[in-house]
Structure 1
């Protein structure tokens, strides 16, 4: 089976996210890294791309050059990953979708709700795939949680509790560090800092696992370091369209927490608990039973979990392999489209443009509610309110 052609925009030398994407895209042998515009400095991007193995005429100086050249090639890219600064996501994603490319965009997909709605409509019109890298949903046991909820193992879901709290911005003396300061500056970050950076991962995971969308929310946001304009800690209560009650805490000043992404789901007949820092274990408490530890890679898990697991039980699988499951989903989807066949339903789990749009609507709802002392506000994008 011929490999699919993959290209990347951003993720240059020294990038935090670039290596994770390159490892993930190449892990299963489905994609060839064929083209890239990896740096805002044209010469640096071309040089780094060639050192990574790109042929010179596909190591581009910027994304516009890449778009112009790739759209004219017979061996054009099957998938483009956008891993540039947040404020550029909309323009680049829109341009490549309009040119007929499938796109995987880093979160946030856009900086405004209007932009998000435009991307959703464009993806629908073009027939192209627009995915958003909520990569933590690629973990095998997160997918197993979703399968357990969907098949009714927990009964009706009553409450979901999500957290994404770390302490890496807790030092007030570090407030003027340029790598930290921009995150709390509205001119660069938009209307939200910590919730937009980390909270939307936790909220999306709550929706992914429960199969429900957030309808309304109430937020208490605070800047615990006086020099910060935007929040570094937020508590969000929300209600979902299937009746589930949601609780979410996100923080960047929680000393002692490292990554801090956790999810708990409580239903009528059971509860589940999973933490990203211990991703190989899922804790299941059946009503009237004993606490069970489900291990990634063990027998008799769901098809979704089995497909997302690569190594034998007891060995660690981490974030790049979770990202790789998003790429595996994309590869299966693209191949199914090319072959004119139905895709494997266990692979139909990649986060869509609609998820990116709902996240951006939640960001603005949290900012609005926080300024209004926690007033309950509609968290749905306008285009989805009209459909309700």
Structure 2
């Protein structure tokens, strides 16, 4: 397959997420980094783009300049990744979709449910792909969990328990640290902090693995550091449309936890446990049998796991390789559209705008429930009710 042309907005020098996207997009040779507007400072963005190998006329000063420069080119980019501050996701994603580009947007897709519903509608009307970077769903053994659930290995799913808890914002002295402060500022972060930042990754993973959607939830939210307006810890109970019961804990004040993304699934015939910090092992306990360790890359796994496993068994795989699986899915989806053919089912796993919308609805529901002392509320987007 011919390489697709890829562009990036945000993710400049010093960015936490930018290198992971550049590594992930280039890992399989499916995308060529062709254009970028990498910094909110135009001159810095242009200079860094050229340092990374972009042609001078495609290292842009801002996203508006990039859109104007790319939309009428015969060799314009096929996919643009939006990795800018949360409050800018909606406008940038909307404008690029309306101009006929496929988009991969960092989470959260937008700031409000209404904006997310508009993005879903625009993408559908424009017949463009709009994906959301729930990158942890790219891990090989997470995809194998989904396959095991789908083929009935666990029987009917009774319970899913998800966690994304770390302790990196536990120091009250960081109250004025600009890299931390904005996350708890409603003007910049919206109605939620920790749940919107990390909790939705855990919630999406639960939905992804079970292939069930959250219908209602009850949340206990708290600001353990009292100066924060938004929550730094949340416990969420939820119910899913396939009958599963869900429990989710997310925190930024859990000292001793580093990353903390874990998922456990319990069915009638067995249980599964996976942790992002040890992504090469999946623990499987069939009912009445001994605990088994499934190793990434071993023989006999699902097509979804085989397709997304990149190095031989025993060698560690990490986040950029999980991102690479999202980009590989998107490459297959874009080529399938160009060739007017069905895409490989094992690649049809990238998170959609609809997933981003459901996350926004869950964020709004958690904020509403937290303010109402844990009252159960509808967690579905209005357009899906």
Q: Which residue of 2 aligns with 1:239?
A: 239
Q: Which residue of 1 aligns with 2:59?
A: 59
- Please give the secondary structure, in 1, of the residue aligned with 2:39: coil
Give how far 1:159 is off. 0.2
Give how far 1:116 is off. 0.3
- Please give the secondary structure, in 2, of the residue aligned with 1:250: strand
Aligned pair count reads 385
> d(CA) in 2 for partners of 1:312 and 1:294?
14
Q: Which residue of 2 aligns with 1:218?
A: 218
Matches within 5 A, 1:101-250: 101-250=101-250
Q: Which residue of 2 aligns with 1:75?
A: 75
> d(CA) in 1 for partners of 2:196 and 2:253?
15
- Taking structure 1 as the reference length, the TM-score comes to 0.99
Q: Which residue of 2 aligns with 1:7?
A: 7
> d(CA) in 1 for partners of 2:35 and 2:301?
38
Give how far 1:76 is off. 0.9
Give how far 1:226 is off. 1.0
The reply to whether residue 369 of structure 1 matches residue 369 of structure 2 is yes
> d(CA) in 1 for partners of 2:48 and 2:180?
26
Give how far 1:78 is off. 0.6
Q: Which residue of 2 aligns with 1:310?
A: 310
> d(CA) in 2 for partners of 1:77 and 1:356?
23
The 4+ residue runs of structure 1 with deviation greater than 2 A are none
Give how far 1:4 is off. 0.4
> d(CA) in 1 for partners of 2:82 and 2:178?
23
Unpaired runs of 5+ residues, structure 1, are none
Give how far 1:178 is off. 1.4
> d(CA) in 2 for partners of 1:139 and 1:267?
22
Unpaired runs of 5+ residues, structure 2, are none
Give how far 1:11 is off. 0.3
Residues 4-44 of structure 1: CA deviation (Å, up to 9, x unaligned): 00000000011000000000000000000000000111110
Give how far 1:72 is off. 0.5
Residues 337-386 of structure 1: CA deviation (Å, up to 9, x unaligned): 1111111000000000000000000000000000000000000000000x
Give how far 1:188 is off. 1.1
Give how far 1:309 is off. 0.3
> d(CA) in 2 for partners of 1:191 and 1:68?
33
Q: Which residue of 1 aligns with 2:49?
A: 49
- Taking structure 2 as the reference length, the TM-score comes to 1.00
- Please give the secondary structure, in 2, of the residue aligned with 1:370: helix
The reply to whether residue 22 of structure 1 matches residue 3 of structure 2 is no
Q: CA RMSD in A?
A: 0.5
Residues 147-170 of structure 1: CA deviation (Å, up to 9, x unaligned): 000000000000000000000011
> d(CA) in 2 for partners of 1:175 and 1:256?
20
> d(CA) in 1 for partners of 2:219 and 2:125?
35
Q: Which residue of 2 aligns with 1:292?
A: 292
Q: Which residue of 2 aligns with 1:332?
A: 332
Residues 136-186 of structure 1: CA deviation (Å, up to 9, x unaligned): 000000000000000000000000000000000111112221111111111
